[in-house]
Amino acid sequence: MGALNLAVLISGRGSNLKALLTACADPDFPARVALVVSDNRDAAGLGHAETFGVPGTVIERRDYADRPAFEAALDTAIRASNVDLICLAGFMRLLSADFVRRWWNRIINIHPSLLPAFPGLDTHARALAAGVRLSGCTVHVVRPAMDDGPILVQAAVPVLPDDTGQTLAGRVLIAEHEAYPLAVRLLAERRVEIVDERVLFVDPTLAARFGPESVLRVP
């Protein structure tokens, strides 16, 4: 089984893109980044693609008459790179239901909360306002609704008494950089399957480690 070809979609700094590129640079990692796409030509993350020698392209919504035309260009670029899996990494544009269905079970996203808690924006401020004891991140399979879909990996971090939105965000970001490559590995090695909108682990030992009773815990 060859390495899984990834397209990573970004809009900004690309820190999770860098984490995936770093993981894929290991010859033993079962995936490679075949293409980086930004919907923002000023995205700092494009520099990471250049540093790692990965093709990067810009497809901006404003260059197209409507969303279907924009998504058609996106689809064409991704298919031309023989991509197996699309990874959304700070891609700040909601994909249409049609696009998601064309790539059903082949788009994943990382969100900075323990979904289904706090979907959408301002997750850290909302977590602090709610008084939760744990926060974290979720890698999930994308569905048409925002921040919805089967959960692949979650990583939990403690919420400290003196946390601000910024300090909590920094701690969660460290967790994201561990969780995203793990999720890609699980898919690339076919250690998980999606049944009735739930991710099930093929290997019982993995189920014990990453299943409902356990999440990654990052200090």
Which domain-ending residue is among 66, 84, 104? 104
8, 87: one domain: yes
d(CA 72, CA 65) in angstroms, rounded, equals 11
* Residue % of the chain over a pLDDT of 70: 92
71, 134: one domain: no
Which domain-ending residue is among 66, 83, 104? 104
**Catalytic positions:** 111
- For 14-41, how does the pLDDT look when each residue is reduced to its tens digit (9 = 90+)? 999 999 999 999 999 999 999 999 999 9
Phi, psi dihedrals of residue 128, rounded to the nearest 5°: -65, -40
Which domain-ending residue is among 63, 79, 104? 104
pLDDT at 117: 97
- On the question of pLDDT at 127 being above 80, the answer is yes
- For 189-218, how does the pLDDT look when each residue is reduced to its tens digit (9 = 90+)? 999 999 999 999 887 666 555 544 334 544
d(CA 186, CA 173) in angstroms, rounded, equals 20
88, 190: one domain: no
117, 196: one domain: yes
Q: Is residue 3 packed enough to be buried (19+ CB in 10 Å), middle (13-18) or exposed (0-12)? A: middle
Query: How many folded domains does the chain comprise?
Result: 2
6, 91: one domain: yes
Edge-first strand listing for the sheet containing 216-217? 56-58, 31-38, 4-10, 85-88, 107-111, 134-141, 151-158, 216-217
90, 133: one domain: no
Q: Identify whether the C-beta of residue 110 lies closer than 8 Å to the C-beta of residue 216.
A: no
**C-alpha triplet 37, 42, 43: angle, nearest 5°:** 50
pLDDT at 219: 41
84, 125: one domain: no
183, 149: one domain: yes
d(CA 40, CA 191) in angstroms, rounded, equals 34
d(CA 126, CA 164) in angstroms, rounded, equals 11
Region of 141 on the Ramachandran plot (φ > 0 left; ψ -120 to 50 alpha; else beta): beta
Q: Which domain holds residue 176?
A: 109-219
100, 113: one domain: no
Map residue 65 onto helix, strand or coil.
coil
CATH number at residue 74: 3.40.50.170
66, 129: one domain: no
CB count in 10 Å sphere of residue 119: 15
pLDDT at 213: 36
71, 114: one domain: no
30, 90: one domain: yes
Q: Which pair of tokens denotes residue 217?
A: 């815990």
